[in-house]
Amino acid sequence: MIRHSIKALRPYQQEAVDAIYEHWNEWLRELLVLPTGCGKTVVFNTVANRQRGKTLILAHRDELIEQARDKYAAMFGELPGKIKAQENDIRRVTVGSIQTMSRRNYENAFNTIIIDEAHHAVSPSYQALLSQMPEAKVLGVTATPDRGDKKSLARYFEGIAYEYKLKDAIRDGYLCEITARTVPLEIDMNNVKVSLGDFEVASIAETLGPYLPQIAEAIQLYASARKTVVFCPLISVAQELAEMIPGAREVNGQSPDRKDTLEWFDQAGPGAVLCNAMLLTEGWDCPSCDCVVVLRPTKIRSLYCQMIGRGTRLSPGKTNLLILDFLWLCRKHNLCKPASLISDNQVDIDEVTTISEQEEIDLMGAISDAEEARRNSLAKELARQTRKKSQLINPLELFSLLDDVGLADYEPTFKWEEAEASQKQVDALQKFGVDAEGISKGYACAIMDRLINRSKKDLATIKQINCLRKHGYDPIDWTFEQASKKISALAAVGWKRWRLHD
């Protein structure tokens, strides 16, 4: 029997569940992208509860396995089965360890597979298990990945069913605001080795050694009134740094007092510092943490998001999260910076990073300012173009009308997105007033998603916006009815705005 969850889903969580089922009508293997702290466990447990047949929730760490089971039991009143080590308890919903299951035969044992932390799904152990159930519906859940991660995941997954961005979660009030400060300490990373697309932790640790006293001083200077977690490349670095900061503690997987240390930090007040060597990137929550220091520089945005995500949750008395960054001197490009959390555009990221070297900044506000500059640039480019006689507008005009630079940053990820837009898509977009000839299928989907969302919110159509802007109005946030009334009023006076006294 299907049970109802104790609490209603948040609007974006309900949208995610609906989108997953809609996409499963066409594809088997879909992704759900939610930032840390936005309730991914709630969403995939809801999906698991609704599915017919047997559902497997797959994870790679004990904390994630127990977290999924406990949350499911709290939501639906029944404890899922468990497959780990000697346990092989299969039920309607089962949580399994990839380390255990990849070594056994589970051919066609499950109808649905949900993969927590799906960026691991392309590894050999996951693929070995997934190949045993080729007809199963698969949902991969991950935090915000960068384009490189999406390209990698596209080798297995067929599309993204739903993505909720960090900046949307902050804007909607589900995560706290983020500030960033770049400490004027130059750390030379030019000799750090790179392996498998990211910096080697041993090489990072060796480089950081001489800088640790200055890093400790910076943490005490800028975060003395905050509760700080520090991510280090190796246990030895975390231990050494903790010794340099009065009252700081270190925790690792072998710490005999690990539980006590985490409880201490959870209950501690401002000034507490907890150093770890990447132990706390997954499966650990401490909402009151309001400062994160990343001493494990990375090119992988999903990893960076996981570290920063430890501090983005809301908590009573918490006003924002501070990210302490450093001047990482590196010839190798694509090093993740605080601005990478909010924007995919490297121009915006570089501009905001430069500003953060002068003062502590509000990331959302700084990115908005950078995007505004790009909007102005797009507007100038648009003005140089020759307008078509047709009433349809092209995608560049659409960026301007919707004030949406995100469309300008679109790049295809999955193979199907690269194909030319279908005639059905072209016709549908033309009805909205958009010229879609020659664009890709994925780009057409991105545009259509935005237009459909406007329609669902009963906002003015593209045709209405285009018409009213020609007469000096800015109706981007108007309702359909408001735009209709204004157009009717303008038509009634021969399109003479001055006669409307507004």
Q: Which CATH architecture has domain 11-164?
A: 3-Layer(aba) Sandwich (3.40)
- 175-362: in CATH 3.30.70.1050: no
Angle of helix 62-76 versus helix 40-50 axis, rounded to 10: 60
Backbone angles phi, psi at 379, to 5 degrees: -65, -40
**159-163, strands of its sheet edge to edge:** 87-89, 81-84, 93-97, 55-59, 112-116, 137-142, 29-33, 159-163
Q: Predicted confidence band at 4 (pLDDT cuts at 50, 70, 90)?
A: very low
- Assess whether pLDDT exceeds 70 at residue 333: no
Please check whether residue 248 is in contact with residue 241, taking contact to mean a CB–CB distance below 8 angstroms. yes
- What single-letter amino acid sits at 221? L
Instruction: Please report the pLDDT score of residue 383 as a whole number.
Output: 53
pLDDT in tens, 154-184: 888 998 999 999 999 999 999 999 999 999 9
Structure tokens at 224: 């003395």
Neighbour-count burial of 103, counting CB atoms closer than 10 A to its CB (0-12 exposed, 13-18 middle, 19+ buried): exposed
Contacts for 34 with CB less than 8 Å, ≥ 6 apart:
16, 40, 43, 141, 143, 163, 164
- Assess whether pLDDT exceeds 80 at residue 494: no
Going by their DSSP bridges, the two strands 228-231 and 249-251 should be labelled as: unpaired
Instruction: Please report the pLDDT score of residue 375 as a whole number.
Output: 67
Instruction: Write the DSSP string, 232-255.
Output: -SSHHHHHHHHHHSTT-EEE-TT-
**Residue ranges covered by each domain of the chain:** 11-164, 175-362, 385-457, 460-502
Could you give the percent of the chain with pLDDT greater than 70? Answer: 88
pLDDT in tens, 191-231: 899 887 789 999 999 999 999 999 999 999 999 999 999 99
Structure tokens at 176: 């706290």
- Assess whether pLDDT exceeds 90 at residue 271: yes
Buried residues in 205-221 as b, exposed as e (16+ CB within 10 A)? bbbbeebbeebbebbbe
Mean pLDDT of 87-107: 95
Indicate the helix (H) or strand (E) that contains 170.
Answer: helix 166-171
Same fold, 11-164 and 175-362: yes
